Amino acid sequence: MRLHKLILVALKSIARNKMRSLLTMLGIIIGVASVITMVALGEGSQKDIEGEVASLGTNLLMVRPGSIDTGGVRGGAGSRASLTMKDVARLEKNATQLRWVSAEVRASGQVIAGNNNWNTTITGVSPDYLAIRNYAIESGTFFTARDSKTRAKVAVLGKTVADELFPDSDPIGERLRIRNVPFKVIGVMAEKGQSSTGNDQDDIIFAPDNTVLYRLSNGKTIHDISASAISSEAMDAAKEELTTLLRSEHRLATDAEDDFIIRDQTEIVEMATQVTGTLTLLLSSIAGVSLLVGGIGIMNIMLVSVTERTREIGIRLAIGARPFDILAQFLIEAAILSLLGGAIGIFSGLSAAWGVGSLLGVSAVVNPAVVLTTVLFTGAVGVFFGFYPARKAANLNPIDALRYE
Amino acid sequence: MSEAQISLSHICKVFSLGDVEVKALDGLSLGIRQGEFVAIMGSSGSGKSTLMNILGCLDTPTSGSYRFESVPVETLNRRQLADLRNTKIGFVFQGFNLLARTTALENVELPLLYDRHRIVANPQARAIEALQRVGLGDRLDHEPNQLSGGQQQRVAIARALVTNPPIILADEPTGNLDSRTTLDILALFQKLNRDGLTLVVVTHETEVAKYAGRLIELRDGVLLRDEINRQPRDAQADLAVLTGEVSDEAA
Ligand SMILES: Nc1ncnc2c1ncn2[C@@H]1O[C@H](COP(=O)(O)OP(=O)(O)OP(=O)(O)O)[C@@H](O)[C@H]1O
Ligand SMILES: [Mg+2]
């Protein structure tokens, strides 16, 4: 019998037992829906992270104090697990592979402007920081190298801070007190929005590095150094140069470990990807189990169907259906049942992904390859679990099948 | 044509139900030539349906050999048997055996869809034609449960005819039909028979047997009688008389 006829027969038989078919498909539907949801959200959040990391800045390199924990002996004699403005100065002076360098000094505390107050983070950076991080000024100006040298008490506000402290007025030129130190607002940053981890990136105040270091922090150590390599090809060279310069500045012995850690975007992406990857794997295996259970459900219902339709099989065999025709008929029915479940699963999975995604602020990415793989896989599940019942049907003896009651 | 189209020798069919053994066929030998019209009679339980099932390659004998067109059937595999049933034999079951929830047209079309050797160009047209021949041209889209017993029987006959097989095996094909429709079917059978079709018809009605050219009677699985009917009745002529009578009465 030709394929389209077989499909028609299968569809008719499925339609005859709508409720039963739906219940049978449920396992497959749940399995496929969870796979699709997981993958869509997993890939979506990964893409979000990648986008965010890219927006951190071009060719960004970040240096943090500390050594990579290898379980062995850490930093030798004379190593200081800290970064200072001297390190920054050394890099600015000697580095050839770096375009921009900026210290990052952070302090947090209460900020008061008139009757309003707000708790936030004050980050001390150099004027290069804007270029390193692809930040933009919305109004006013950013501070200059001179402001840094003179430890000028000027501040550039993130959007959130500006809105909180100056809800009704233009903050430029206004005064505010950060931990009782008076500052003058000279600019407002362009809006950045939320990060994938849910942090408000606009809840920030920028001030010159030295100002924060000496007026709000301990006057000695800084938290990070951000730098930009001269090009993406120069990333490795820049990393090497950074290492050499900082090791020499820190006077580390040749056999001593680095007392700082350099990260670039790819590493940051990898770290984030690893987490989502593990999560996806875990949830996918749960989905796999439910697909297995769904497949067994299909096998069960196909066995019932073969028994119920023994007489029909007998009639078909009697008028000349080959055993293979019967096998194909039941295999196709199982495959269609499974594929139909898969289709419903894909549809509900995508809806769920979009729903959950918009709820959590993560984008859902539809990967056609994943959808295709899922379709093929559910088809395979149907054929695999439908094979035993179908073979049972095909092996029936015509006269026994006709006599079956 | 020396060899018979159908040749049975020493066929036994034993059904064992626990301790009890039922010998439905007991060493039956029989030859049927192409173009014969054979009526098989016998009391209920004498083994007629059992014989038909074996002839139709639906069942296998416990012992003995069956040659269909010189081929020993026991040497054929399941696929070859299926093809044989599909292309060589039209089978009308005692209990009709139509597919439920499937229209008369689809039921009749079905054997053509399983035919791999002669790809039929327009199976639907062939099925409609077969249904028209048994007088059911106006019941194409009726499902078995929407048809009377006699109509179902005629759908079963149409399904057996549709593949143009060289032999038709019919188990009580007129059991549910009135005398007028019975004559219709017998006239159709006789016409096909004249064109060379072999017919084996089981019946318990002596009247029906009179239209066959050969009469076989079974009793307890053995051949009781096997005789040639030199002057079979002509169903077409009887039909004319019958309709003539009807129109006479109407007048
Ligand atoms: N599957 C079976 N299992 C056991 N016994 C069977 C089976 N089929 C038939 N028989 C027995 O074989 C004998 C012949 O049965 P069969 O159906 O051939 O009779 P029949 O001549 O067709 O009767 P009828 O005119 O009533 O249709 C009967 O005694 C019946 O009980
Ligand atoms: Mg019978």
Question: What is the B143 CA–ligand 2 centroid distance (Å)?
Answer: 25
Last residue of a domain, one of A229, A258, A287: A258
- For chain A, give the longest Cα–Cα distance: 104
Measured in angstroms, the CA of B82 and the nearest CA of chain A are apart by 4
Q: Residue A117's domain spans which residues?
A: 83-258
Which of A338, A341, A333, A345 has the alpha carbon at shortest distance from A370?
A345
Pairing relationship of beta strands A154-157 and A204-208 according to DSSP bridges: antiparallel
Which ligand is closest in space to the CA of residue A404?
Answer: 1
- Helix, strand, coil % in chain A, rounded to nearest 5: 55, 20, 25
Ligand 1, atom 19, residue with closest C-alpha: B45
User: If you search the block for the tokens 């026991």, which residue do you land on?
Assistant: B74
Question: Is the CB of B53 within 6 Å of ligand 1?
Answer: no
pLDDT value of residue B232? 94
* Euclidean distance between CA atoms B143 and B132, whole angstroms: 16
Same-domain pairing of A288 and A247: no
CB nearest B113 (choices: A1, A312, A398):
A1
Question: Is the CB of B67 within 6 Å of ligand 1?
Answer: no
Last residue of a domain, one of A258, A290, A305: A258
Same-domain pairing of A216 and A109: yes
Question: What is the B45 CA–ligand 2 centroid distance (Å)?
Answer: 7
Domain annotation covers residue A113: yes
Q: Which of B48, B55, B171 is the best mutation target for the ligand 1 pocket, counting ligand atoms within 8 Å of the beta carbon and taking the most? A: B48
Tell me which of B25, B49, B59, B89 to substitute to probe the interface with A (most A C-beta atoms closer than 10 Å).
B59
Encoded tokens for B13: 């069919």
Domain count, chain A: 2
pLDDT value of residue A318? 96
Model pLDDT for residues B195-207, shown as the tens digit of each residue: 999 999 999 999 9
Same-domain pairing of A98 and A244: yes
pLDDT value of residue B249? 52
Residues in chain B closer than 8 A to A325 (CB atoms): 82, 114
Asked if A320 lies within 8 A of B58 by C-beta distance, the reply is no
Same-domain pairing of A247 and A104: yes
Last residue of a domain, one of A213, A228, A258: A258
Which of B104, B111, B135, B103 has the alpha carbon at shortest distance from B56?
B111
Is A219 buried (19+), middle (13-18) or exposed (0-12) by CB count in 10 A?
exposed
Same-domain pairing of A26 and A175: no
CB nearest B97 (choices: A315, A323, A325):
A315
CB contact burial A20-43 (16+ within 10 A = b; e otherwise): ebeebbbbbbbbbbbbbbbbbbbb
pLDDT value of residue B38? 97
With a cut of 0.85, is the ipTM above it?
A: yes
- For chain B, give the longest Cα–Cα distance: 64
* Euclidean distance between CA atoms A212 and A195, whole angstroms: 24
pLDDT value of residue B247? 59
Measured in angstroms, the CA of A8 and the nearest CA of chain B are apart by 12
Same-domain pairing of A254 and A281: no
Query: Which residue type occupies B46?
Result: S
CB nearest A398 (choices: B58, B110, B113):
B58
Q: Find the Cα–Cα–Cα–Cα dihedral A400, B160, B75, A399, rounded to 10°.
A: 0
Domain annotation covers residue A78: no
pLDDT value of residue B1? 46
Same-domain pairing of A221 and A279: no
Same-domain pairing of A134 and A226: yes
Same-domain pairing of A246 and A295: no
Secondary structure of residue B238 in the 3-state scheme: helix
Ligand 1, atom 2, residue with closest C-alpha: B15
Residues of chain B with pLDDT under 70: 1-3, 246-251
Domain annotation covers residue A65: no
| Domain at B4-242: CATH architecture | 3-Layer(aba) Sandwich (3.40)
Q: Mind listing the pLDDT tens digit of every residue in chain A (405 residues)?
A: 678 888 988 898 889 889 999 999 998 898 889 888 888 888 887 777 777 776 666 688 889 887 544 444 444 433 446 889 999 999 989 989 999 999 999 998 899 988 888 999 999 999 999 888 888 899 999 999 999 999 999 999 999 999 999 998 899 999 999 988 999 999 999 988 777 667 788 999 999 999 999 999 888 889 999 999 888 788 889 989 999 999 988 888 888 888 888 888 777 667 666 777 777 777 778 777 888 888 999 999 999 999 999 999 999 999 999 999 999 999 999 999 999 999 999 999 999 989 988 888 778 888 888 888 888 888 898 999 999 999 999 999 999 999 987
CB B176 within 8 A of CB B153: yes
Domain annotation covers residue A63: no
Same-domain pairing of A199 and A236: yes
Encoded tokens for A218: 């301990």
Q: How far apart are the first and last CA of chain A?
A: 26
How many angstroms from the chain centroid is the CA of residue A120? 27
* Euclidean distance between CA atoms A131 and B194, whole angstroms: 101
pLDDT value of residue A268? 67
Which of B83, B86, B65 has the alpha carbon at shortest distance from B74?
B65
Which ligand is closest in space to the CA of residue B171?
Answer: 2
Same-domain pairing of A129 and A226: yes
Encoded tokens for A18: 């709508």
* Euclidean distance between CA atoms B56 and B212, whole angstroms: 19
Question: Is the CB of B77 within 6 Å of ligand 1?
Answer: no
pLDDT value of residue A60? 86
Domain annotation covers residue A182: yes
Question: What is the A394 CA–ligand 2 centroid distance (Å)?
Answer: 26
CB A235 within 8 A of CB A61: yes
pLDDT value of residue B196? 92
